[in-house]
Amino acid sequence: MPLATASQILQDYSLEVFLLPLNTLGVSNRTTTSVTFTSTIARAVGDTTITLTAGTATNLKAGNVLSFKATGEAFRSQVVILEDKQILTTATSINIAPLSRGITANATASFISGLLPLTGIQTLDLNNQETQVDTTHFLSGAGTETALVRVNRNYSVSGVALAADEALETVIKPVGALAGNLFNREIYAAATFSDGERLEGVAKIYALNFPANQNEVKKYSFTLAFQGRQFTWTQPYTAFA
């Protein structure tokens, strides 16, 4: 394995969200529907279309992001969708942002149905905060010991509030305290890096803010907190041979 030297730019780093429905007891249903997309034709760096088949016919929106990997491949490839279109169970072509990595035939991507892309993002910082328990005892000598028993995974998100942003207006603002009936509701959130790495799971929205002054544009900021076991990390690289 050669020494890693290339930096990774964060163009097209994305966040997608949707409001989880309620079950028959009136609490959030954390069960999500995952659809598998398959790239039927190999695509090269710079290509602006991709041909997909879906396990179940599924609507994609401009701004949705997919992370592809073929069996046996060592890396993932990110695809940014540029048009609203339904992907059928038969081969369907769709416009995408120019690829920065090629995609082989039969590479697959998993997508959670209903995700809406949040636009205008300027910062998307993941902050982990561990809960520590002091486990120092008589045989620890001069050093202390700790056990890490929990981890709080929070995303600090801020950006420009772009006009007619569906994710901002129908998910972030209502759940973030502007609609009392949706306050404290859980959402599903997925952050995807430009190398295909993906962090996703059930989350809540805290500290929704709209900073403003006379020399600025409309902006937003909030904290996205992943909940319990409902968190998944998809690695960007799976082999280093």
pLDDT at site 1: 67
Domain ranges of the chain: 1-32+114-241, 33-112
pLDDT > 70 in the chain, percent: 99
pLDDT at site 209: 96
For range 146-162, the mean pLDDT: 95
Quote the CA–CA distance of 21 and 132 in Å, as a whole number. Answer: 34
Quote the CA–CA distance of 51 and 39 in Å, as a whole number. Answer: 6
Helices (H), ranges, the chain: 166-167, 173
pLDDT at site 188: 97
User: Phi and psi of 154, rounded to 5°?
Assistant: -120, 135
Contacts (Cβ under 8 Å, ≥6 apart) of 70: 103, 104, 105, 106, 107, 108
For range 157-170, the mean pLDDT: 97
Q: Per-residue confidence at 240, pLDDT binned at 50, 70, 90?
A: confident
* DSSP letter string, 150-161: EEEEEEEEEEE-
pLDDT at site 230: 86
Q: Per-residue confidence at 241, pLDDT binned at 50, 70, 90?
A: low
How far from each other are the two terminal CA atoms of the chain, in whole angstroms?
6
Quote the CA–CA distance of 97 and 117 in Å, as a whole number. Answer: 15
pLDDT above 90 (res 143): yes
Quote the CA–CA distance of 21 and 27 in Å, as a whole number. Answer: 8
Quote the CA–CA distance of 228 and 201 in Å, as a whole number. Answer: 9
pLDDT at site 220: 97
Quote the CA–CA distance of 65 and 79 in Å, as a whole number. Answer: 6
User: Phi and psi of 172, rounded to 5°?
Assistant: -65, -55
For the record, the structure tokens of 116 come out as 């809406």
Question: How much is the pTM?
Answer: 0.92
> Residue 204 CA to chain centroid, in angstroms?
14
Name the CATH topology of 1-32+114-241. Pnp Oxidase; Chain A (2.30.110)
Count of all residues that appear for the chain in the document: 241
- Average pLDDT value for the chain: 94
DSSP secondary structure code for residue 167 in this structure:
H
Distances (CA, A) of 91 to 31, 38, 40: 28, 9, 7
pLDDT at site 3: 83
For range 65-85, the mean pLDDT: 94
